[in-house]
Structure 1
Amino acid sequence: MSKRYYAIIDIGSNTMRLVIYLRDKGGRLREVENVKAVARLSTYLQEDRTLSEQGVAKMLTILTSFQHVLDTYQLEETICVATAAIRQAENQEEIIKEVFVQTDFDMRILSEEEEAYYGYLAVVNSTSLEEGVTVDIGGGSTEVTYFKDRRLIHSHSFPFGAITLKQRFFTDELPTEKEYEELRQYLKEAFMSLEWLNKKKVPLIGIGGGARNVAQIDQNMKEYPLAGLHQYKMTDSDLAFIKNYLFTLPIDKLQKVEGLSKDRSDIILPAIEVFHSLYETVHADGFILSRKGLRDGVFYEQLTRGMGTHLFPNVLEESVQELVKDYDLNTKQISHVHHLAYKLFNQLYDKGIGDFSKSDWKDIKRASYVYNLGQYIDDESSAQHTFYLLANRTIDGLMHIDRLKLALMASFKNKTIFKQFLRPYKDWWVKSEQKKIRLFGAFIKFCYSLDSTRRSAVKDIRIETDDDTLYMELICSKDYLPEEYQSEKQKKHLEKTLKKRIELSFSNVEN
């Protein structure tokens, strides 16, 4: 089967970007090429609201460069979209024609509503957030949306962006205290004018390069131990600290801040003030970075064409299934282990053993899908590979703390290795939560030992208990000696976490 490549060109007010995606067997898009050029087209808008000849020439030069990159791929489709700078240009029709003549790109100018919608669509199709406010600040406009139950309720495009705010409020590269306060008041009034933003008390989700840079700065300052930016969460105090720190720096020092792109150093302060002022207006309960934005939203619309909805049914479930496919996991074994784990979980819960709650099953089930997936790389060090892959891979639908929890459960080998993996993150959970994660890992490991030969030999589980012993009867449909050996070997990890001795008895019954 030939590889299917798709490309999108995003002509923004600050940057222009070419992204090429490869569509995998499951239908999802993987980014394989990402080319960025700083154009700052909004600075070429003249008093008569036309884009100057120099601006058009700069844009065409970059598009021609993109075209050379595209020539190396066999593409199924190329989409070219433009946002605020071209949308606001009075000579946009001439620009569209010139682009087509010079490059064959059929430029589509997105309306304010479309630009906001695609940002929202990217967020709800790449996270598990049911409700939130999105904000995407470009060079010449800022889009905000409010969604609830994953449905778009409100959207608005403000006619200002990081570049235009800088031009309007700063007389030099960096603002004075007075100028910054004027910017802050202006943004407060702008956001308060939308009643549906006020005191929503929901997550604020940042999209685009400005939000990405803020998250990168925060991670570098904290020496953050996990890889990845998507679904990274910050607080009000995090935003305030970064803002105040950046404000104290001269431009030469600002350009050297770890995590901040040099080409954004002069416009990062307007961007972060947009996020902070909006955070306060919304009374947000966190600032979450979405690496998926407008470009992804455009393709999500394409992928779901003809489905009756542009929303993926279950983002996290699809991400887990993607892991199962990527690491060639045994779906038959996973299904059988789920069957055994569910029986054992419910009996332990009913008897009050192990401090399980009903809601814990979803965590256990999720981790059991990807248990020991690092075996795909190397059997001897499978626990290490499992932990590293899951902890450091973006998993759409999981916040970073939940991704780490999944990694700890799915990589469980023994108490020593568990503590080793947990050590850099021990402050993320209190002791009781750490013990529960370890219990879940030991539970999953034990359940997999009951199907060690992948023959579904163990069909049912029945348990009884007294003060210090858990009696577990395993009903089998075929020879069970390998499963008996493995479960006797692995039960010690579950005994330690349950604080009970476990006695296993195997019996064979006909099918």
Structure 2
Amino acid sequence: MKRYSAVIDIGSNTMRLVIYSHENYSRIQEVENVKIVARLRAYLDDDKRLTGEGQFILLDTLKSFQKVIDTYDIDHSFCAATAAIRQAKNHEEIEEKVKKETGMTMKVLSEEEEAYYGYLAVVNSTSVEEGFTIDIGGGSTEITYFKNRKLVFSHSFPFGSLTLMEFFDADKPSTKQVKRARTYIFDHLEELEWIKEKNIPIIGIGGSARNMVEIDQTFKDYPLAGLHEYEMFDTDIAHISEHLTTLNRKEREKIEGLSKDRADSILPAMQVFYCLYDLTEASSFVLSRKGLRDGLLYEQLTNEGEEHLYENVLDNSLNDLIEEYELSSMQVTYAKEMTRKLFEALVSQGASPYLTSKDWAMVERACMVYNLGSYIDSESSSQHSFYLLANRTIDGLMHVDRLKLALLASFKSKSVFKQFIRPYKNWFLKSERKKLQTLGSIIKLTYALDSTKRRIISDIDITVKKDVVRIRCFCTDDSKPEMYQAEKQKKHLEKALKMPIRISFQNQ
């Protein structure tokens, strides 16, 4: 049964309402995402009080959000405010007004809470074990360091993409202005001893990080869909920063991937990313589409006293796919065990120079979602399987690993494999392409051994001698359909291994 939760995020730059659907606290999906560029920070007066005009914008936007919320049967709702309201000296008065005029309870998050929820979203939606998170808001910047998925340090700086705009002209920045901004940012970042020279990933959260990634994908004519867990490096950040600083605002507004309302604030945000990457000597910059709002939701959906961390992010994602595309969990478990036996025998007996025992994790994932495209159309299931997996966000998988999963889980033949991998050919060495083709044909064969989904093969024995692979299948029932499919499909593995395969079936 679907349940709905609403989260309102009141930031310094934007206000956003997100409504999520979920089933038994899993398969969380966004069903509404409403954004208003309120720029509340601009309505803080010299005494750091939110002006009457700013309060009107806040209340009017919340009332608009409430009308959207009222169209759903909401199970949980949460309204959180960050730096602009936190820094307003009259925030208690504002909280009372919000309660009186909208009925909402607005929680003003502390700096520590804001950093924590961002961290929680990242560790529950990626497989990164150790890293930094950075969330650049309009009026503050939160940085955390986590190790073994546990929060170790966090800090909130009282500057953000809007406050740092004071370093830049409204139109086109100069080299001197960029240098001054970076010096200011470096001076603040260096106060944190725990961020220096870690050589671990930086995970970016929020609109500035998202826009930077969208620009990078546009520059590279990136062929895969999706932003979550997209990876960039220092040269990419430097290239985008240098390009943006050569343009005036009108020119920046025309850049594909950059929101018009961030055409000015992207410049200071880029300098923060640049400085943090340099100071930490990061291994890469990874985008997380999940942030503060998702962290709040994860906490809401956890029973009191329970651990807020998912045990295994990727397994959760794959199990959600199994449910969504109505795959048989019993067949998946059976196919995984059959595949494991064949895979381990081929590796241990040296059947292929391309395979190693470390490849099993990749094969196991593909077994879980193999041929899921048959849910849409059995005749073109391979094409659907590849497209769905390659272009869908899968929490816990970087983009290249998502592509590998798609190639294995959609494997049909060498020619179709070549067709699918063609746009991404330069992503892999020749040996890696050979490996993926071999692994795909292993999965294809083991699924053929259960073509009727009766699980009649109780065990298999594999030997590799004199350049021949012999597979003995021990059956509990008539095996003619499985025998036919196995003989038909073994040719793909024979081509990959460059040796014949002899399959025999015997009843127990």
User: Structure 1 length as normaliser, TM-score?
Assistant: 0.98
**CA shift for structure 1 position 464:** 2.4
User: Which residue number corresponds to residue 431 of structure 1?
Assistant: 430
Contact 2:126 2:396 in 1 (8 A): yes
**CA shift for structure 1 position 396:** 0.1
Count of aligned positions: 507
Q: Does 2:325 align with 1:316?
A: no
Could you give the per-residue CA deviations for residues 32-71 of structure 1, whole angstroms, max 9, x where no partner exists? 0000000111111111111111111111111111111112
Q: Does 2:202 align with 1:204?
A: yes
AA of the residue aligned to 1:135 = I
Contact 2:172 2:247 in 1 (8 A): no
Q: Does 2:464 align with 1:461?
A: no
**CA shift for structure 1 position 215:** 0.3
Deviates more, 1:327-336 or 1:7-16: 327-336
AA of the residue aligned to 1:46 = D
User: Which residue number corresponds to residue 154 of structure 2?
Assistant: 155
Contact 2:6 2:77 in 1 (8 A): yes
AA of the residue aligned to 1:41 = L
Hey, what's the Cα distance between the residues in 2 that align with 1:384 and 1:102? 53
Hey, what's the Cα distance between the residues in 2 that align with 1:172 and 1:42? 17
User: Which residue number corresponds to residue 223 of structure 1?
Assistant: 221
3-state SS of 1:6 partner: strand
User: Which residue number corresponds to residue 408 of structure 2?
Assistant: 409
Contact 2:115 2:144 in 1 (8 A): yes
Gaps of 5+ in 1: none
Could you give the per-residue CA deviations for residues 269-328 of structure 1, whole angstroms, max 9, x where no partner exists? 001111111000110111100000000001111122335311000000000000000000
Contact 2:126 2:395 in 1 (8 A): yes
Q: Does 2:19 align with 1:20?
A: yes
AA of the residue aligned to 1:401 = V
> Percent of counterpart pairs with the same letter?
56
**CA shift for structure 1 position 187:** 0.6
* Change over 3 Å in CA distance of 1:194–1:26 after alignment to 2: closer
Hey, what's the Cα distance between the residues in 1 that align with 2:304 and 2:107? 21
User: Which residue number corresponds to residue 362 of structure 1?
Assistant: 361
Alignment counterpart, residue 180 of structure 1, candidates 178, 181, 184 = 178
AA of the residue aligned to 1:40 = R
Contact 1:19 1:35 in 2 (8 A): yes
3-state SS of 2:80 partner: strand
User: Which residue number corresponds to residue 105 of structure 2?
Assistant: 106
3-state SS of 2:277 partner: helix
Q: CA RMSD in A?
A: 1.1
Gaps of 5+ in 2: none
Matches within 5 A, 1:313-462: 313-355=311-353, 356-462=355-461
AA of the residue aligned to 2:298 = Y
AA of the residue aligned to 1:298 = L
Deviates more, 1:385-394 or 1:327-336: 327-336
Could you give the per-residue CA deviations for residues 435-491 of structure 1, whole angstroms, max 9, x where no partner exists? 001111000000000000011111111122323211211111110000000000000
Could you give the per-residue CA deviations for residues 4-49 of structure 1, whole angstroms, max 9, x where no partner exists? 2110110000000000111124633211000000011111111111
User: Structure 2 length as normaliser, TM-score?
Assistant: 0.98
**CA shift for structure 1 position 173:** 3.9
User: Which residue number corresponds to residue 189 of structure 1?
Assistant: 187
AA of the residue aligned to 2:183 = Q
User: Which residue number corresponds to residue 477 of structure 1?
Assistant: 476
3-state SS of 1:475 partner: strand
Hey, what's the Cα distance between the residues in 1 that align with 2:285 and 2:451? 44
Hey, what's the Cα distance between the residues in 2 that align with 1:504 and 1:307? 54
